[in-house]
Amino acid sequence: MVFSIRMRAAQGGAHEKGGRHISGAERLVGEDALSRTAGEMVERALHHSKGRADFIRITMEEVDPASTKEIEPPAIREYEGKTMEETREKGLAVLAAHGVNRTAAEKALQALLSLDVSMRGAMAVSAETGERMDSLGDRGIRVTRMGFRDKAEAARVLVSHGYEGMHIREALVLAGKVLSCEDVLGELCISDDPEYTTGYVSYRDESGIPVYCRLEPLKPAGCALGGRVFFLKDGADPEKVRAYLEETTVFVRTPALSQTAEITDRTKERKSDLLTGLAAEAESLRHSSVYRKVTDTVQHDAAHARVGGEDCLMLTTNNYLGLAHRKDMEEAAAEAVRQYGTGSGGSRLLSGSFPLFTELEKALAALKETESALVFNTGYMTNLGTVSALIGPKDHVFSDSLNHASIIDGCRLSRGHIHVYPHNDLTALSEMLEDLPDEGRRLIITDGVFSMDGDIADLPGLLRLAEKYDCLLAVDDAHATGIIGNGRGTAHYFGVSSPRLLQIGTLSKAVGSEGGFVCASETIITLLRNRARSFIFSTALTPPDIGAALAGVRLIASGKAPVRKLQDNISFLAGKLAEAGIDVPGKTKDGKVIEDFLPTPIFPIVLGSDERTLAAAEQLRERQILLSAIRPPTVPKGESRLRLTVTADHSFGELAYLADTLKEVIGNLS
């Protein structure tokens, strides 16, 4: 037996009581799919981009098989305009070419665009005059009782032609049913989903075949106004149209997209624009202040490099301890090559896990005092794989607003609910946690040392919240491992540990090699080994990477790495910058070193505009000082900065020279 299941959701109470419409849906399903479908509809109402519904009504009704009808789906056409205006014009022209009076179509479009609340259904207008014909107000005609005959097959065919997502599926069915009504000449539809800018017009072509013409973009992104217009033949009875569209059950056959010539048209149309479009984009980047390029650089150690034929003092490496250019590290890498070759040849789970991996993971777990550890190929892949493995669509992740891009991307990939809390603001975070419904897993994630600001997360405070609200807590120690907490990172710096804590880090910065890692409980590591796709589907790092990483971790753990020297350089530079009158958040202010200054090697000198920052970097470059000009999107607009990183390889003399030169250059800026 087939059931019609309908959902209507609103915010601020029921629609009748003045609630704002959030979402509506209708499907025809077998009895076995009733409860699952109801569940999906509830989810959709609770997590809608227009807001969370607090009123949800679900109706289920068995359909009389004798009163059902089966129809062909419309053929799909595509039109992508360069501007919204152009696309709207195209939609009007297409309607006008197929029986709708041009002025009537324009009038209907204007009527849609001047609604102050979206309608729940469609308005019926005369295809001759554009005058509204029904008297159903905001409600309009609600097309219901329709679905694909074989929903899974229809979805498969659509997806295989690049048509993904539910919008087009639902719209094709609706448009098909509407065109199956004799009295309707065509339809115009704009989505009310603020993020969905594609709409369509539908009509019958010269041979009477129903056509669904997608129009992109039909409205500006972020606009929550949408609606539908049905164009009725002259003399049609709107009540008869309504009764048919609301009461007759219609099944739509599976689209046979391979047979429509229109698809080929789309491909042709797109190709001709593609290459010119890309070239124009690249060209405009080249002239912009956020243009990025790569330069050949030969590093001698962490402080000295030859760049473009010139010897420079370098303050722009994350090789904080200088381990990447040490003889003993190079020898460890070479020895690993001699024993295991130059490449791993496979994923860790297949053939790629040579024995140095086990030793390295043991050494990392010991360094961080956790049960277990897992190595990934890069820090970026570590965050991507870890967040997406632990968090799914029903879960919640709480992410500091200044977290690294790899964390942001991991959150997006997880498809969980993302809650961004203001930087290091534990009050705001606890309010967010307090407001959360009880279901789903929660993960709080933060940089340990923030990469662009050099400040440190309040890990003890975060851990208290994680415990109170039953969350996992992940700290990314990319810029903390080998540096703070005697080289053991943020957790050690604060003296905290917990089975709910994940300590993420990289092997590519202070450790002097390449890769990333997670140190955590055996349980978490087992989950990551089995679920983290960036781990599973990457060829393992190479023997020299791991040989060097193991040597680096051992140097740090044994106290033989120059962690102390790095700390001395950090406080020396802070003193010199204070003398030079250069403010560095968290380190110096008004010619003084801040009491309890942050012991991190990252010195952000915020200059404001991209232009000032680039000019300063350029002048420093002329004086053979190399540091990075950090601009949006890496940092917020208006907070462009020189980011200098001090390492253990710098001498006091060089740092003093740096402070003097900075003072002079900043003094010269307008």
Binding status of residue 167 toward ligand WAQ by CB under 6 A:
yes
Among residues 184 and 630, whose Cβ is nearest to ligand WAQ?
Answer: 184
Identify the DSSP state of 77.
E
Binding status of residue 192 toward Mg ion by CB under 5 A:
yes
Structure tokens at 278: 């890309």
Binding status of residue 57 toward ligand WAQ by CB under 6 A:
no
Provide the Cα torsion 392, 397, 401, 405; round to 10°. Answer: -30
3-state secondary structure of 361: helix
Residues in the chain, overall count: 670
**Near ligand WAQ by CB under 6 A, which window of 120-128, 256-264, 280-288, 408-416?**
120-128
Report the site for ligand WAQ in 12-51 (rule: CB under 6 A): 24
**Near ligand WAQ by CB under 6 A, which window of 49-57, 59-67, 137-145, 254-262?**
137-145
Binding status of residue 94 toward ligand WAQ by CB under 6 A:
no
Instruction: Report the candidate in 142, 248, 158 with the shortest Cα–Cα distance to residue 212.
Output: 158
CB of 143 to ligand WAQ, least distance (A): 4
**Near Mg ion by CB under 5 A, which window of 188-196, 234-242, 265-273, 351-359?**
188-196
Binding status of residue 663 toward ligand WAQ by CB under 6 A:
no
Which one of residues 130, 147, 226, 512 is an interface residue with ligand WAQ (CB under 6 A)?
226
Identify the DSSP state of 456.
B
CB of 43 to ligand WAQ, least distance (A): 16
Binding status of residue 92 toward ligand WAQ by CB under 6 A:
no
Interacting residues of 310 by C-beta distance below 8 A, sequence separation 6+: 624
Which one of residues 88, 132, 228, 492 is an interface residue with ligand WAQ (CB under 6 A)?
228
* Total H helices, total E strands in the chain: 20, 28
State the binding partner of 199 from ligand WAQ, Mg ion, none, CB within 5 to 8 A by kind.
ligand WAQ
3-state secondary structure of 149: coil
Phi-psi domain of 322 (left: phi exceeds 0; alpha: psi -120 through 50; beta: other): left
Instruction: Report the candidate in 300, 310, 252 with the shortest Cα–Cα distance to residue 72.
Output: 252
Helices within 404-447 (DSSP H only): 405-414, 426-434
Binding status of residue 26 toward Mg ion by CB under 5 A:
no
How would you label 409-435 residue by residue, b for 16+ Cβ within 10 Å and e otherwise? Answer: ebbebbebbebbbebbeeeebbebbee
Size of the site for ligand WAQ (CB under 6 A): 25
Binding status of residue 429 toward ligand WAQ by CB under 6 A:
no
**Near ligand WAQ by CB under 6 A, which window of 117-125, 445-453, 488-496, 503-511?**
117-125
Among residues 54 and 458, whose Cβ is nearest to Mg ion?
Answer: 54
Residue that the structure tokens 């207008």 belong to: 125
CB of 120 to Mg ion, least distance (A): 10
3-state secondary structure of 389: helix
Instruction: Report the candidate in 144, 140, 312 with the shortest Cα–Cα distance to residue 226.
Output: 140
Binding status of residue 453 toward ligand WAQ by CB under 6 A:
no
Among residues 167 and 623, whose Cβ is nearest to ligand WAQ?
Answer: 167
State the binding partner of 631 from ligand WAQ, Mg ion, none, CB within 5 to 8 A by kind.
none
Q: Alpha-carbon Rg of the chain, whole angstroms? A: 31
3-state secondary structure of 354: coil
Q: Say how far apart CA 474 and CA 390 lie, in whole Å.
A: 11
Among residues 170 and 579, whose Cβ is nearest to ligand WAQ?
Answer: 170
**Near ligand WAQ by CB under 6 A, which window of 6-14, 222-230, 380-388, 620-628?**
222-230
Among residues 169 and 509, whose Cβ is nearest to Mg ion?
Answer: 169
- Which residues are at the interface with ligand WAQ (CB under 6 A)? 24, 118-122, 141-143, 167-168, 171, 174, 189, 191-193, 196, 198-200, 214, 226-228
